[in-house]
Amino acid sequence: MAEFLVYVAAILTGLAFLLALYRFFKGPSAADRVVAYDVLTIVAITGIVFTALAEGRGIYLDVALVYALLSFLGVIVVARYLERGL
Amino acid sequence: MTDTALSIFGGFLLVAGAAFLLLGSLGLVRMPDLFNRIQAGTKATTLGTLLTLAGAACLQPAWGLKLLLIGLFVLLTNPLSSQVMARAAHRMGIEKSQLTMVDHLAEDTGEKS
């Protein structure tokens, strides 16, 4: 039962990733793409957690933590660049 | 994975969190302009990520500390990045939707919206 629910949640997360990817490719302006990138990273962190659950290996959570740190910095840097240049 | 009450509860938390992620991404596709997309894309996905992490902690209680750390980090950084994005978009002069009535930042800085 719990395993089935994990798979259902993983499929829903994959659909969320695809929808955000659509906005990432289509987005009219660069800012739209950065927002879509932000959402993509958050969904990817959740995907890494699902991978850790499916494999049963807790070490993958460290990957999720580092990815959260670096992707946040990436979004901030691109936003500052769009605002007034580096 | 054995089926205890806690693991089934965790599974339902996982599905709820993934549903919030899906709704947030749907809002990202459907919303009319950039500022609405920021609202949909960051608030709903923050809640979805936190619910998913809580569900994973219910399924694997030994990972609780790391999951709590990731959750705290998402909770701190996600509103910050969305706020920086919104301010940058406002200063870039991204056009707003026809339905937008009020622009407090433009009123405060004295520019016409």
Query: Which CATH number characterizes residue A16's domain?
Result: 1.10.287
| Confidence (pLDDT) at B67 | 92
Residue that is written with structure tokens 């807790």 in the block: A58
How high is the pLDDT of residue A86? 64
Considering its fold, how many domains does chain A have in total? 1
Name residues of chain B where pLDDT drops below 50: 113
pLDDT of residue B96: 78
Q: Are B25 and B56 in contact (CB under 8 A)?
A: no
- Say whether B14 and A5 touch across the interface (CB within 8 A): yes
Residue of A47 and B102 predicted with greater confidence: A47
Report the alpha-carbon distance of residue A68 to residue B66 in Å, rounded. Answer: 13
- Cα angle: A71, vertex A72, A73; to 5 degrees: 90
Q: How far is A14 from chain B (nearest CA, A)?
A: 9
CA distances to A68, A78, A80, B89 from A85, rounded to whole Å, are 24, 9, 7, 13
Q: Which two tokens stand for residue B36?
A: 């609405």
Contact B88 A82 (CB under 8 A): yes
* Interchain proximity A13–B82, CB inside 8 Å: no
Please state, in angstroms and rounded to a whole number, the distance separating the CA atoms of residues A36 and A28.
Answer: 12
Nearest Cβ partner for A83 among B41, B67, B88: B88
Query: Among all residues of chain B, which has the CA nearest to that of A75?
Result: B81
Res B113: pLDDT: 47
- Quick one: average pLDDT of A46-58? 90
**Range of A78's domain?**
2-84
Q: Which two tokens stand for residue B14?
A: 């996982």
